[in-house]
Amino acid sequence: MSREGAEHALRARADERDRISGDLLDLESHTTYQLIKGASLRGATERRWAAAQEALTALWSLNDAYRAVLREAEQVRAARARLGADQLARLTELLGGASVVVRAAAKPVEQRSLLPQADERLTLDEAVNRMDTAFREVTGALNDIDAVWGSVLPRLDDAEADLRRIRELEHELGEAADLAGQEAELRRIRAAVVEDPLGPPVEQDLDRLARLLAGARAEVELALVVKGEYARRRENLVAELDRVRAAESEARLAHGAVVVKIALPPQAQPRSRVEGLAGALDALDVSADAWVQRAKRLATLEENARKAAEQALATAKALYGLVGRRDELRGRLDACQAMAVRKGLAEDPAAMELYERARALLWSAPCDLTRAATAVENFQRAISGGKR
């Protein structure tokens, strides 16, 4: 090397050494590195971290050898104010040659031989590249572990917060659910994530558990609301049952009015649901169920009462609609008769037979709507030349 080249190379290597030292210090202060050093690991994580630790041990050993070369080079440079040929030759050897000595690793006795183990010699660049490879192996393991911890541990904290909140709500409610299975599952998942984050994924189990806890929390919250609102909601339900009674009465009146005019099948007779609903309400009042279950039963009863009232009103409307359908068919038959007169078919025996048949069906009581509609259709087709 020239004097200027040696000076430049030495300054560059010193900067490189300081940068590497900074990276290694950052590694040792990394949060995940500090946590993993004291953790009890198992499974895939234990194996991955063991390999990373071997790489880290080799890295530190190589770094010591690398720094030793640079110290010697700095000592050579400091020996004289102006570098001589001997110093330049030595610096060229240290900074550019295979100056970094990697001692042969001690092997287990069963892997040894009686022949001497040769040390390995590397240039500074080769040493830095090898240290970089080891460094990346360690940081790669840390990144993979940190990714799992960063993703799963906050969700575990949220699930445990849900569990604590459920316990608080249950205390307020005065009842306790059996959540021992969920607690055990939470402990199992946390242990798996902490001890073996690189092992089998736990996300699906955690998703399922989170859904169960969210559902349990929603149930307890609903139970508290129902407990506080039970008296008011019961009064509202009693009023709703009165509306069911009124709607069912309307359906019965409609059936009575329509059945004399329209032929109805036996199943068209309105059936009352109000007594069953009232019985369910009485049973709810004396129930020994927990409030979580009573909340579900009350919500179901409220929904059933609402549907019963709607169904009864719909039945009444449908029944009255049958009379309207009969009247619509009568009007249609009259319009077809007027058309027959305009076309000169009023005296046609076949057409008039169809007309009389339809008229007899429509003006009979009770009217068979299905047969009457078919008869009107047949008459209309006849006077339209087979076309509607």
| Per-residue pLDDT at 387 exceeds 60 | no
- pLDDT of 70 over the 80 cut: yes
Nearest to 369 by CA among 263, 255, 260, 257: 263
Instruction: Work out the mean pLDDT of the chain and round it to a whole number.
Output: 91
Per-residue pLDDT of 110-156, as tens digits, reads: 776 777 777 889 999 999 999 999 999 999 999 999 999 999 999 99
Is residue 333 predicted with pLDDT exceeding 60? yes
Q: What is residue 158's predicted lDDT score, i.e. its pLDDT?
A: 94
Residue 388 pLDDT: 44
Of 341 and 294, the one with more pLDDT:
341
pLDDT at 386 over 60: no
pLDDT at 109 over 90: no
- How many CB atoms are closer than 10 A to CB 111? 7
pLDDT for the residue numbered 193: 95
Q: How far apart are CA 274 and CA 75, in angstroms?
A: 103
Highest mean pLDDT among 81-90, 227-236, 375-384: 375-384
* Local structure of residue 271 (DSSP, 8 states): -
CA distance 187 to 166: 17
Does the CA dihedral 145-151-152-158 come out positive or negative? positive
Number of H helices, E strands in the chain: 11, 2
Element (H, E) at 370: helix 369-383
